[in-house]
Amino acid sequence: MTVLGIETSCDETAAAVVRLEPGDTAIGIRGEILSNVVFSQIDDHAPYGGVVPEIAARAHIEHLDGLIERALSEAGLGWDDLDGIAATSGPGLIGGVIVGLMTAKGIAAARGLPLIGVNHLEGHALTARLTDGLPFPYLLLLVSGGHSQLLVVEDVGKYRRLGTTIDDAVGEAFDKVAKLMGIGYPGGPAVEKLARKGDAARFAFPRPLLNRPGCDFSFSGLKTAVRQAIEAFDPLTEKDKADIAASFQAAVADVLSDRAEIAMAQADLVIPEGYRRFAVAGGVAANMALRERLLGTAHACGYEFVTLPLRLCTDNAAMIAWAGAEHLARGETDALDVAPRARWPLDPDAAPARGAGVKA
């Protein structure tokens, strides 16, 4: 089963071809990435210190056709070799989602191919099956610019949310801290780099919700504390910046580790022994310091730790093609009138977190 995937929900325009075939793995199938091309719009948005939705949507229109052509040619395939077209149909910046989904609909209609509208979060959630053949169920920490969630991945299309942010996403906090210090956009990689030479003990930033019951996250108080620390300096030296970055990242690490520990204790009830695996996905999962910390937490709780290659942590279309292929393999496809969605929670039964809006 060979699927073309399209991703346009934020500031990466991406196309990929992925093949799902029967395999001698724990899940009976194996995936192969035949091509995976990503155009990052970073330069378009950098002057604004964040993603501008209108600019993003226009850039997707400009680049998507060429990227799809490249994805096919790098895979050495033509249209006739495809079995389906998958595109992110939410959640995300609606202008961008519309561009990708409508392109996919056009291709599906023109070529008579099945269409699969993929939940972007499901793309992140199922990547560990593409890379590591992870069987259901497993625990997932999804940390990106738009989401911070702990989920039990029970099946394709079936997720149990254990916790979510009640205000900001963790990637958003990284981006904000970087913007306040003027160290570049996107913030995550810049903060991580600076933190390496900083003193994490210099600033005692708050650890929101630490040691509190449940697995929810909160990052707005931490963000405010960092802003106040930055504003107290004039001038802000390179050493101050590095120490702030390190202290901020240490606070995030403490919070993620604490919440993950509680989630593992809760997940023990639904994840049988032998299946205890903890995967981390989303852009923030590219952070090496956080990975190391979460690896320790997982092992201390008796969980195997699963990380993804860096280019599959941040937004890409291979994850969309794979999630589409998993649905297609089950005969689950969408009609051509499937609607783009700005909001699309993975667990429809989870209580809404009002302060987080579409991020919950």
Binding site for Zn ion (CB under 5 A): 144, 315
Question: From ligand KG4, Zn ion, none, which one binds at residue 167 (CB under 5 to 8 Å depending on kind)?
Answer: none
DSSP H or E stretch at residue 231: helix 220-231
Mention every residue, 6+ apart, whose C-beta is less than 8 A from residue 323: 5, 86, 116, 118, 119, 122, 123, 125, 126, 156
Residues whose CB is less than 8 angstroms from the CB of residue 262 and which lie 6 or more positions away in sequence, other chains included = 163, 213, 214, 215
CB of 310 to ligand KG4, least distance (A): 8
Which is closer to Zn ion, CB of 106 or CB of 357?
Answer: 357
Distance CA 217, CA 215 (A): 7
**Closer by beta carbon to ligand KG4, 315 or else 347:** 315
Please choose which of Zn ion, ligand KG4, none residue 7 contacts, taking the beta carbon within 5 to 8 angstroms, the exact cut-off set by kind: none
Residue 144: CB minimum distance to ligand KG4, A: 3
- Residue 152 or residue 290: which is nearer to ligand KG4 going by CB? 290
Residue closer to Zn ion (CB basis): 144 or 287: 144
Residue 124 C-beta: closest distance to Zn ion, Å: 6
Task: Please report how the helices 238-267 and 187-195 are oriented relative to each other, as an axis angle in degrees rounded to 10.
Answer: 110
Closest approach, Cβ 329 to ligand KG4, in A, equals 25
Taking the least distance from each CB to ligand KG4, the nearer of 138 and 174 is 174
Q: How far is the CB of 214 from ligand KG4 (least distance, A)?
A: 23
Quick one: how far is CA 140 from the chain centroid?
A: 11
Say how far apart CA 248 and CA 173 lie, in whole Å: 9
Min CB(268)–ligand KG4 separation in Å: 28
Between residues 218 and 333, which has the closer beta carbon with respect to ligand KG4? Answer: 218
Which is it for the CA torsion 232, 237, 243, 247, positive or negative? positive
Residue 168: contacted member of Zn ion, ligand KG4, none (CB under 5 to 8 Å, by partner type): none
Of 149 and 266, the one with the shorter C-beta distance to ligand KG4 is 149
Q: How far apart are the C-alpha atoms of 20 and 35, rounded to whole Å?
A: 13
The listed partner (Zn ion, ligand KG4, none) that binds 171, CB under 5 to 8 Å by sort, is ligand KG4
Return the one option of Zn ion, ligand KG4, none that residue 187 interacts with (CB less than 5 to 8 A, by type).
Answer: ligand KG4
- Cβ neighbours of 133 (radius 10 Å): 16
What is the closest distance, in whole angstroms, from the C-beta atom of residue 290 to ligand KG4 in the complex?
7
Given the rule CB under 6 A, which residues bind ligand KG4? 10, 144-146, 171, 174-175, 186-189, 192, 282-284, 286-287, 314-315
Cα-Cα-Cα-Cα torsion 236, 172, 288, 181, nearest 10 degrees, comes to -10
- Which does residue 114 touch among Zn ion, ligand KG4, none (CB within 5 to 8 A, set by kind)? none
Structure tokens at 133: 């053949």
Quickly tell me which residue has 């994490």 as its tokens: 200
Q: Which does 208 bind (CB under 5 to 8 A by kind): Zn ion, ligand KG4, none?
A: none
Find out whether 319 and 130 touch, Cβ atoms under 8 Å: yes
